[in-house]
């Protein structure tokens, strides 16, 4: 490199390389600026998504509470329906088993009442006897 021409040529080559490096750096800086812009925009998008996810989480929680309330009410309604069906079944059975007895008891009461009144009126039965029999029956009947 003692030769000035050779030194100039090396200097020109170095200058060209520096210019190429500067041009590359300018391109990279422009690219980095674009990357920074993209990262900033993506950060805003991520923030928006976080807000939307928080809103969805709140809506899911509300929906879950509504569903739980519905399920509880449905269970209670189902138990009420079962109880009503059982009550209807027992009422029907009671009427089938005891309706005739109720009619027979009413008929017997009517006959006893009428016959007792006639027997007392004709002096066949003394009212003291009727009273004594009635009192004894009442004492013997635990559900009276």
pLDDT (tens digit, 9 = 90+) per residue, 59-99?
999 999 999 999 999 999 999 999 999 999 999 998 888 77
Report the percentage of the chain scoring pLDDT > 90.
29
Residue 126, C-beta contacts closer than 8 angstroms, at least 6 positions apart: 120
pLDDT digits (tens, 9 = 90+) for 28-46: 666 666 667 777 888 888 8
Please state, in angstroms and rounded to a whole number, the distance separating the CA atoms of residues 61 and 72.
17
Residue 119 CB: number of other CB atoms within 10 A? Answer: 15
Chain mean pLDDT for the chain? 82
Q: What Å distances lie between residue 98 and 52, 64, 90, 106, 141, CA to CA? A: 68, 50, 12, 12, 19
Query: CA-based angle 55:57:58, to the nearest 5?
Result: 65
Question: pTM (2 decimals)?
Answer: 0.43
Residues in Cβ contact with 7 at an 8 Å cutoff, skipping those fewer than 6 apart: 1
Q: How many CB atoms lie within 10 A of CB 125?
A: 16
Average the pLDDT over 107-129 and give the result: 83
């Amino acid at each position: 490199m003692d030769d000035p021409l050779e030194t100039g040529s090396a200097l020109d080559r170095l200058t060209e390389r520096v210019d190429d490096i500067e041009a590359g750096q300018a391109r990279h800086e422009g690219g980095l600026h674009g990357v920074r812009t993209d990262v900033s925009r993506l950060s805003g998008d991520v923030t928006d998504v976080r807000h939307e996810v928080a809103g969805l989480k709140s809506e899911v929680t509300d929906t879950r509470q509504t569903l739980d309330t519905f399920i509880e009410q449905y269970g209670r309604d189902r138990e009420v329906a079962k109880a009503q069906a059982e009550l209807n079944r027992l009422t029907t059975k009671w009427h089938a088993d005891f309706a005739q007895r109720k009619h027979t008891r009413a008929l017997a009461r009517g006959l006893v009442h009428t016959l007792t009144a006639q027997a007392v009126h004709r002096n066949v039965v003394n009212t003291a006897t009727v009273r004594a029999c009635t009192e004894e029956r009442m004492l013997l009947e635990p559900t009276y």
